[in-house]
């Protein structure tokens, strides 16, 4: 196998190793997919578009619903950024990435922006000027369990290296193999309810313990750290959460999107019908 310094990190050229590790654990880190000069152009575009979003210079389509433009705050997100940056779009359409996706999902998989979903820029800074809100333990499937677009693979291109200082991805390896129940959040009073009859995963095996609704430590979880320019792939069924930065001045910026299977949603079906619990 083609391991680098850390388990689960493979060069982009090690196609078979990437697919093997991903199928086993539900995630993998791909290194060297984006050249240094390409990463520079992507970072430049993202920071300029973030500045424009903060200044109110971008159409509402590129500002996530519910965040608005509050005075004194930065725009943590730019939606549909592949429409605004050719450099970002080139990552989503990268030939090596597409080949990996086809191996994982089949030849009929499609990139999210075809179905009204999106490639998004995110700045996960935690300071007082931030509107960033973490999401506790969840699977991506739980955001839209009634849409016929799964399995899916999410990709995240990291513009900054990650660490306990600026935050990182938490994953429960192998949890994509379980039949995880769907759940919904009642935003009116904060109650969270499970829907046990609707499950998502690659087997019929039920999870050995319930998924927490917050950020509790889980038996067997791992911290997935990325170097600058790494691309993390994670499965739509795998349990994951985000660890918050320990310093309010830290920066953790990335571009993320997904490849899906099944039907491409129509215009009114793009958003998930059930939301995951956020804190």
pLDDT at residue 70, rounded to an integer: 66
Q: Compute the average pLDDT of residues 142-167.
A: 93
**Do residues 247 and 104 touch, judged by C-beta distance below 8 A?**
no
**Do residues 221 and 136 touch, judged by C-beta distance below 8 A?**
no
- 70-79, 192-201, 224-233: least confident range: 192-201
pTM summary value: 0.89
**Do residues 131 and 229 touch, judged by C-beta distance below 8 A?**
no
CATH of region 9-208+224-264? 2.60.120.620
In 3D, which of 121, 112, 92 has the Cα closest to residue 254? 121
pLDDT at residue 275, rounded to an integer: 35
In 3D, which of 13, 2, 228 has the Cα closest to residue 99? 13
Does residue 1 surpass a pLDDT of 60? Answer: no
pLDDT at residue 30, rounded to an integer: 98
DSSP codes joined into one string, 94-136: -HHHHHHHHHHH-TT-EEGGGGT---EEEE---STT-----B-
Q: Compute the average pLDDT of residues 112-127.
A: 84
**Residue 261 — very low, low, confident or very high, per pLDDT cuts 50/70/90?**
very high
pLDDT at residue 224, rounded to an integer: 96
**Do residues 102 and 18 touch, judged by C-beta distance below 8 A?**
no
* Cβ neighbours of residue 147 closer than 8 Å, sequence gap 6 or more: 265, 269, 272, 273
Place of tokens 């050249």: 35
């Amino acid at each position: 196998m083609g391991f680098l310094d850390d388990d689960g990190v493979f060069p982009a050229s090690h196609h078979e190793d990437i697919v093997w590790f991903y199928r086993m654990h539900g995630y993998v880190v791909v290194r060297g997919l984006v050249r240094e000069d390409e990463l520079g152009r992507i970072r430049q575009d993202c920071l300029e578009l973030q500045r424009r979003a903060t200044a109110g210079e971008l159409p509402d389509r590129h500002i996530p619903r519910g965040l608005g433009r509050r005075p004194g705050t930065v725009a943590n997100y730019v939606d549909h950024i592949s429409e605004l940056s050719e450099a970002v779009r080139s990552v989503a359409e990268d030939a090596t990435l597409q080949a990996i996706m086809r191996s994982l999902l089949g030849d009929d998989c499609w990139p999210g922006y075809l179905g009204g979903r999106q490639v998004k820029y995110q700045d996960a800074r935690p300071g007082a000027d931030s509107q960033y809100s973490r999401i506790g333990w969840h699977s991506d499937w739980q955001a839209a369990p009634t849409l016929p677009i799964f399995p899916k693979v999410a990709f995240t291109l990291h513009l900054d290296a990650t660490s306990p200082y600026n935050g990182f991805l938490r994953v429960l390896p192998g949890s994509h193999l379980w039949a995880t129940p769907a759940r919904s959040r009642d935003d009116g009073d904060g109650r969270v309810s499970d829907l046990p009859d609707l499950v998502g995963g690659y087997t019929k095996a039920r999870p050995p313990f319930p998924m927490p609704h917050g950020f509790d430590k889980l038996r067997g979880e791992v911290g997935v750290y990325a170097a600058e320019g790494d691309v993390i792939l994670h499965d739509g069924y795998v349990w994951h959460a985000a660890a918050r930065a320990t310093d309010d001045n830290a920066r953790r910026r990335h571009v993320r999107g997904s490849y899906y299977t099944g039907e491409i949603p129509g215009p009114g079906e793009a958003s998930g019908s059930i939301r995951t619990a956020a804190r």
